[in-house]
Amino acid sequence: MTTLGRAEPARARLFVHPGDSPIRILANSAEIDRTLRDLLKRYPRYSWALAWASQGFPACDLLLRNTGRIERLVVGTHFYQTDPDLIARLLEHPRTRFVLNPSGVFHPKIYLFEGKNRWECVIGSPNFTYGGLGGNDEVATLLSDADQGAADAYRAVKAVIEQYWQRGSVMSAADLEGYRQMWSARLRVRAQLGDTSRTGAKPTGDGGRSPLEIPILRLPWSEFVSRARAEDTGHSIVGRLAVLDHVRTQFKGGTSFCDIDTVWRKRIAGTTYERFDEAGDDPNWLWFGSMRGAGTFKSLVADNSSHLSDALDAIPSAGEVSREQYELFVHRFTKAFAGRPGGGPGIGTASRLLAMKRPDYFVCLDSKNRAGLRKAFGIRGACGLAEYWDSIVERIRSAAWWLADAPTAGEDAEIWKGRAAMLDALYYEG
């Protein structure tokens, strides 16, 4: 029968099994933190393999004051979770490496401490981060040279750390700069979704709920597709995909909006019903947001405004779309309305153009889907041109269905190409 022993200083409860040495369980992040800080002070050599690491907490301060004790430090960077400022402080350390492009997810948490004829090792769930050693629910085991089978355990731990060391790389300054840009983008996503563990920012929009508490963000790809196909507003998935396919053809090869003929510009902008022929068997160009009532915008499209074309040129036809590119689009789009009577630049007309050029990134936010999208994404305040990227696009990019692997063929593959714009099918209220 298992009995509960007395807790040692800086260690968790001891569960003693007859015939075995005590198994030391560190039952929460506070105990793990106290143990690591104690070991950092007492041992002269550290060999660690960590999925992620950050700074700004006591254990990290101790590590940075004792970098001369590092024998092996291997840190992962998957999902851009490791703090680039910490990387910068360790960049030139000769016994530190980073796993930049893992096969799968590099996810170990091993903290080995060695001295003369002594060693102790913490292995468990916590990363070397503020959350991992602070407010998270974590658990770990503390092994030592006094344990039964210690010699075999020590050799196994040393061997696996050495394997990770061989997989790691030295990060250059250029590597760090590129990593920092991606980390900053993901940081904005986490802050917008209420994760303040790294930013310290006040949660916005959804009141600080975790992304996993926002249903549309955790929706799997299969369910997203099912809901898109189930639209019962008179639209059809076939017709929607036809619109996106025809528009994609117009922008093929990086064609600028101003180089597309007038009828097609109006179709792309959602300002006309005009069909291919009298039979009218082509798609409805007003799906994904009708802009027929936007008088000034309609005139700009008909007049082939260079500012509208320049704005869309800021958005690449393929690949990553950045916040900076979106902001350039907004700047140029706004210029198109300067000195024009009537309505000014709005999120409906802007997002219609964006959704047509890059339906994988943007959804048209208009009067027919605004209520549903705002509720789904937890948007409480304004959502105009200034807020659209943070409130909509960044959240889309964190959604399970958006991050899903691309289907290889068929209708699902076509839906995936326009998956952001397809949100209109889920929230359209006709």
Tell me if 229 sits within 8 A of 222, measured CB to CB: no
Number of domains in the chain: 2
- In this structure, of 207-211, 218-222, 323-327, the range with the lowest mean pLDDT score is 207-211
Q: C-alpha angle 86/89/94, rounded to 5°? A: 115
342 within some domain? yes
Spatial CA neighbour of 48 closest among 67, 27, 29: 67
- Of 127, 149, 175, the position where a domain reaches its end is 175
Q: What is the pLDDT of residue 181?
A: 73
**Three-state secondary structure call for residue 174:** helix
Percent residues over pLDDT 90 in the chain: 65
373 within some domain? yes
297 within some domain? yes
Verify that 225 and 281 share a domain, yes or no: yes
- Mean pLDDT across 295-317: 95
Estimate the share of the chain in helix, then strand, then coil, as percent rounded to the nearest 5: 45, 10, 45
The pLDDT of residue 30 is above 70: yes
Verify that 152 and 243 share a domain, yes or no: no
308 within some domain? yes
Q: How many CB atoms lie within 10 A of CB 297?
A: 30
Verify that 237 and 153 share a domain, yes or no: no
**For helices 306-313 and 295-302, angle between their N-to-C axes, nearest 10 degrees:** 90
Q: What is the pLDDT of residue 307?
A: 95
Which position has the token pair 């003929």?
261
**Residue 44 sits in which domain range?**
3-175
Rounded distance between C-alpha atoms, residue 98 and residue 55, angstroms: 16
List the strands of the sheet with 70-76, edge to edge.
Answer: 3-4, 14-16, 23-26, 140-144, 118-124, 109-115, 45-50, 70-76, 96-99
Verify that 273 and 365 share a domain, yes or no: yes
pTM (predicted TM-score): 0.57
Q: What is the pLDDT of residue 188?
A: 57
Six token digits for residue 355: 């959704």
Rounded distance between C-alpha atoms, residue 325 and residue 336, angstroms: 17
Verify that 241 and 376 share a domain, yes or no: yes
Q: How many CB atoms lie within 10 A of CB 155?
A: 10
Q: Which pLDDT band holds residue 202 (cuts at 50, 70, 90)?
A: very low
Spatial CA neighbour of 125 closest among 15, 72, 51: 51
Count the alpha carbons within 13 Å of 189 in the hemisphere toward its beta carbon: 20
**Three-state secondary structure call for residue 182:** helix
Q: What is the pLDDT of residue 273?
A: 82
How high does pLDDT run on average in the chain? 86
Verify that 147 and 231 share a domain, yes or no: no
* Counts of helices then strands in the chain (DSSP H, E): 19, 9
The per-residue pLDDT for range 169-184, each reduced to its tens digit, is 999 888 888 788 777 7
Question: Tell me, what CATH number does 157's domain have?
Answer: 3.30.870.10
The pLDDT of residue 193 is above 50: no
Verify that 129 and 259 share a domain, yes or no: no
Six token digits for residue 144: 């030592």
Residue 407 CA from chain centroid, whole number: 20
Tell me if 179 sits within 8 A of 84, measured CB to CB: yes
The per-residue pLDDT for range 53-74, each reduced to its tens digit, is 999 999 999 999 999 999 999 9
- Of 131, 149, 175, the position where a domain reaches its end is 175
Q: What is the pLDDT of residue 391?
A: 86
